Structure 1
């Protein structure tokens, strides 16, 4: 809770809560000697009845140490005497300094002299009367507002003097709002003066003071409203309400809340009204959590929430949610979202839910606008997006509080009715589609502008977190027995599709993300139409291989494998599809999944290529289908192209682990004696032969060591050996024959190593059906290999020996 003892100077506390580190107070400080000298010179000025430039410098010296300066009653009396002296001609720039020093005296004096306090009031009244209009510059008015407010809060001030201060205070606002508005740097001082005045006043002045607070930004010539102003208003009212709550001033709380909730004048700035209302709610929410609830709380809460709701409803009716074309509407949307994020729980209503959704999509994560302007940037247009603009947005309080605003949004969503839940869900899912398309485009056209692209991705990464948190809330509250299975499946598919769109921005592993995916996948797995819907949402093969249409692309060359945004999305599909492959009909797999699967098997990123092989494995091993014969036929058809695609890119691109898992799956799950299995084995042997021939010319000692070697040819041979125990008994003779052809052509070292591997494999086998055949085959193979020993020493003679009739295919086949 904001306690009034947190800071002697309310304006400093407000600055610390506005999301900005800027300060109008000088950061330097003067030495004790300089301060003593400054007071001495001011005393000389009064005695000599003259005010020279060095006296103005003395005032500035004192104020440079405001934080550490103590103004005692004697010094205050000196300042008041100088201001009231009829013989002193003070320069206009000295008045703000005098007023600020008096303010320091008022706030830092624990027991100021009553007579001195009362003597200051007529001096200020005369100074600010109509005969001194020429002196009432913007800085004088702002400092006077601050001082009058602080004076009215002094306990020793009489009621009559307090009324004089408050009348002067209200009059300054009502007559000089343009002067106040022109001094942007002193807005915290003006607000602090309002806070002091509200804390000290009785009900008769509440309306006028609140009118000053809400009306100053709504008048022509008033200050230009900003988010920082809104946050200061929120914490100003929190400060005031906290003081009332601590002192149990129920009447004052009621008057304050009534003044906020009943504001409806056309010239009232709605953002100020909203922030004032959320400031009170913040105080009450914290009071309730501390078991210090006031009796008035339930009534005022309802009235304040209805006031915020009315502002939000009016905004939504004017803008439809998109406020980016109007600065005032944009400010109001930002303040509503920040206010709700800082106030704590607020009753759910449709206007607030939609306001928070719009704030997140258009103000906090305005990626669609950024992407459009980034294209303009590449075209050299003046309206293009600049690097400084993105950095400013990243540093803004609005962006830094994105997490709190997302939390408030989800809280509103949970309590909303089904219709409005559906509306904001559509907002978020559509946004995900848009940022996928937009980022895919700009990541291509901003090549070479890495700083701009990197900062855009920082915004998008936080947008990803927002989507995940919201999707988790949707999954938690929508995927239950209250809804039909069809509704649950539809929502699950939309969440998965949206996650695929933002997958590129996932930089860390989030439990919420993983849990949400697990939850929705269960729903999708149980429904074939949902599986089909999800699979068919994947970009088509034609779209994947060409760039996204954009005037900004020009003649730039597009390469699908270098489109990282698209690749991340497809990788998401490749990972999810195996989990629901049983429910994907064969024709859908053939038309939608297979082309993409085969395309990304050739992706240079091993992780992506392995995921493609995993999809193939999942489909080959799947068993459920309404027409099983068609599915089995499709599997065999796909194997032929799969083997071609995998081997043509091996070892350069195809990951061996992925290919090995695919080969193992097809020999396990295709029907016994399938032609596709024979084709697979024959192709693997051919590839091994070719790789061994190439390797033999490059490294004659490659066969010295088998274990731990990463030679691609050895890996293929290992795979073939592994198949000995996997292929069905109908295919085994062909595999043994082809392996024999391969092994006898290896150098002696290679033969010995491979034979040792086969010995171990056969010895460890407990397959009583094939083991006798393997033993006989191994004995014959060992004999054939032993007959070639003498020719190994001469490479030319060895080559002639391998091509001789004695080692012909027919002879090998006969011996086996």
Structure 2
């Protein structure tokens, strides 16, 4: 047989080969048959369109003989009775008797539960809906799970599959009355309570029924009764409310998990605030329980924790995380405002919690070289990042839509950006949802002073960034802000966003919240981070704001001195030349004419060029012979100085010319010739008609002075 219900319930892609069934004309005592032979016999019965009455009588007689002593394989006996029921209604009372008298025995062998459930399923396929047998058999499907040992998500999925298969079969066969009877059994909550049905099983049955109804309406043109669908969805909503209350009170999580998995399998349903909340709880606490997992790893980093992490990732619910997230997004899109706010708040808080936990985990486990454990934690965290991004994208569509409409909440942009900063460390690939969400949020705040100020206020302070991490499991002496990768990623996010609205930032707020952090990370060993810090400085120096123009100009002057000092002292090294060059050019172009900051910048660059050229000459005396192709740091600084010849204002130019002349004069003859040659080319290509005559005259004088013998030097000051 190509399809065996027990294998489908078990999740097997194909059934194992079965031994040949015993001949029905002479069935041996069933107590002597092994489970494979019982399964083979059941398979033969299922695939046979009809059987002789004598064979059925013989089988029923053999089965009934097992009613007194406990049968050796009760689950397989259930499967056999279900198979017989496809041919004879006489099997119904025997099946009911088996579950009534030997339920404990069935439950004690959980690995054979698929066979037991398959027996119930085959029986329900034929039993008339108005028969008292129907209700009795259905009740076993939901009461068997009272034993907590077998109440699990995996078994809940079996109930889902069984009910989905049953209702689909009813629809395919046109048994509308049976479909109605099934729906009544799972939506009559009063009856479910009286019979003490397991809530998680009824919940999964509701989802299985919904899926079958949806497939049936499209595949078999089944006319779906709206009231029937609404009744099932209402029942799911009731269970969702119970799940939330139970979770908050006792931490009972099975029903929450079943709601998430069931809805992931059955697809979208009508909006219900309790369903939305239960999905949120399931995602943050059960699918991605990173807080508890990280705490466990910090308390005990042995193999048990690693095994726990791998088991979690191999779990059913974790593998369905993307689908569950999609269901939540669909629910969110049609939610009312209070429910949307619940989702948003939970996601933003979860992101911040993830940031705090992940910082500790990475610092501690890297310090202890627990790389494998850390790798598994990061895999789960990366999946959580995707969940946050997908939900945030849905939030941005609803709350940050540029078109005016109901539901727009601009303030959400700030919390969204803060949340993204918290999970920035986990961003490994470029995601369209991430890009779109950040773009919408940035566009919202870049024209709003209040929102941009709120975003800056959320930025960790200098003291927070450089202070010791509050983590008992980490040796304090090993902590350094530059090694805190999670924190660095968060700051990098801020550094990238700030330039988009820097002109709105009051200079006092920039000085208070941004400047110290910008200068701190300007000397971060990661070049990408250092460049971002330089970009923030460039954006502020280039910005203007009429409301505080004088105060802003004063701050620019102050920042110029400290920037040049901090950037130049760390070059070459942590200061990337591209960042240094962009910062210097921004200062020269935007500071007032004759600014002390520009003079100091010129002086510092020339001093750095002098020291670097001495080091380079000592290290490689023949460097000047290949000066044009050189990649030496001193070559880059000299090129920057030459570029400044056309950028500095006319008040600073004489000082710059004198300083550059002093630089040339201290070089060896080969160095002087190399620099003069480069300067000639630069001046010749200049199209600045105002400066060019001055530069030509200066260069001729410098060339003359350089040609004089050392015994007859001419003072540079004469230039």
Same fold (TM over 0.5): yes
Q: Does 1:136 align with 2:62?
A: no
**C-alpha distance after superposition, 1:752-799 (max 9, x if no partner):** 2222222222222221211111111111111112224xx5xxxxxxxx
1:588 paired residue among 502, 509, 526: 509
2:25 paired residue among 61, 66, 77: 77
Match of 1:119 in 2: 58
Trace 1:742-753 onto structure 2 (pairs within 5 A): 742-753=663-674
CA contact (8 A) 1:245 1:294 kept: yes
CA contact (8 A) 1:334 1:363 kept: yes
Q: How far apart in 1 are the matches of 2:578 and 2:148?
A: 70
Cα offset for 1:249? 1.4
2:409 aligned counterpart, secondary structure? helix
Match of 1:340 in 2: 263
CA contact (8 A) 2:213 2:224 kept: no
CA contact (8 A) 2:244 2:256 kept: no
2:45 paired residue among 82, 103, 106: 106
Cα offset for 1:179? 1.2
Q: Does 1:208 align with 2:136?
A: yes
Match of 1:600 in 2: 521
From the superposition, tell whether residues 318 and 482 of structure 1 become closer, same or farther in structure 2 (CA, over 3 Å). farther
Q: How far apart in 2 are the matches of 1:191 and 1:222?
A: 17
Compare CA radii of gyration and give the structure with the larger one. 1
Q: What do you get for the CA RMSD once the two structures are aligned?
A: 2.2
Cα offset for 1:640? 0.3
Q: How far apart in 2 are the matches of 1:385 and 1:540?
A: 38
Q: How far apart in 2 are the matches of 1:598 and 1:484?
A: 42
**C-alpha distance after superposition, 1:325-377 (max 9, x if no partner):** 64xx2111111101001101111111110111000011000001112222212
Q: Does 1:330 align with 2:220?
A: no
Cα offset for 1:222? 6.4
Trace 1:197-596 onto structure 2 (pairs within 5 A): 197-203=123-129, 204=131, 205-218=133-146, 221=147, 223-263=149-189, 264-265=192-193, 267-290=196-219, 292-320=220-248, 326=251, 329-377=252-300, 386-447=305-366, 448-480=369-401, 488-596=409-517
From the superposition, tell whether residues 483 and 389 of structure 1 become closer, same or farther in structure 2 (CA, over 3 Å). farther
From the superposition, tell whether residues 610 and 222 of structure 1 become closer, same or farther in structure 2 (CA, over 3 Å). closer
1:650 aligned counterpart, secondary structure? coil
Cα offset for 1:293? 3.9
Cα offset for 1:229? 0.7
2:429 aligned counterpart, secondary structure? coil
CA contact (8 A) 1:8 1:107 kept: no
Cα offset for 1:111? 4.7
Q: Does 1:787 align with 2:688?
A: no
CA contact (8 A) 1:216 1:222 kept: no
Q: How far apart in 2 are the matches of 1:486 and 1:522?
A: 17
**C-alpha distance after superposition, 1:2-45 (max 9, x if no partner):** xxx9x43111112227xxx8x9x8x6xxxxxxxxxxxxxxxxxx
Q: How far apart in 1 are the matches of 2:154 and 2:65?
A: 34
CA contact (8 A) 1:206 1:259 kept: no
**C-alpha distance after superposition, 1:195-242 (max 9, x if no partner):** 111211111233212211111112xx4652111111111111111111
From the superposition, tell whether residues 97 and 519 of structure 1 become closer, same or farther in structure 2 (CA, over 3 Å). closer
Cα offset for 1:107? 2.6
Match of 2:101 in 1: 175
Cα offset for 1:482? 7.5
CA contact (8 A) 2:401 2:408 kept: no
CA contact (8 A) 2:217 2:223 kept: no
CA contact (8 A) 1:364 1:398 kept: yes
From the superposition, tell whether residues 765 and 271 of structure 1 become closer, same or farther in structure 2 (CA, over 3 Å). same
Q: How far apart in 1 are the matches of 2:468 and 2:319?
A: 34
Farther off after superposition, 546-555 or 396-405 = 546-555
From the superposition, tell whether residues 722 and 95 of structure 1 become closer, same or farther in structure 2 (CA, over 3 Å). closer
Cα offset for 1:449? 1.0
Q: How far apart in 2 are the matches of 1:634 and 1:359?
A: 50
Q: How far apart in 2 are the matches of 1:95 and 1:693?
A: 91
Q: How far apart in 2 are the matches of 1:556 and 1:770?
A: 56
Cα offset for 1:385? 6.7
Match of 2:634 in 1: 713
**TM-score normalised according to structure 2 size:** 0.95
CA contact (8 A) 1:181 1:216 kept: yes
Farther off after superposition, 739-748 or 351-360 = 739-748
**C-alpha distance after superposition, 1:616-647 (max 9, x if no partner):** 11111111252110001101100100011001
From the superposition, tell whether residues 386 and 222 of structure 1 become closer, same or farther in structure 2 (CA, over 3 Å). closer
Farther off after superposition, 701-710 or 102-111 = 102-111
1:136 aligned counterpart, secondary structure? coil
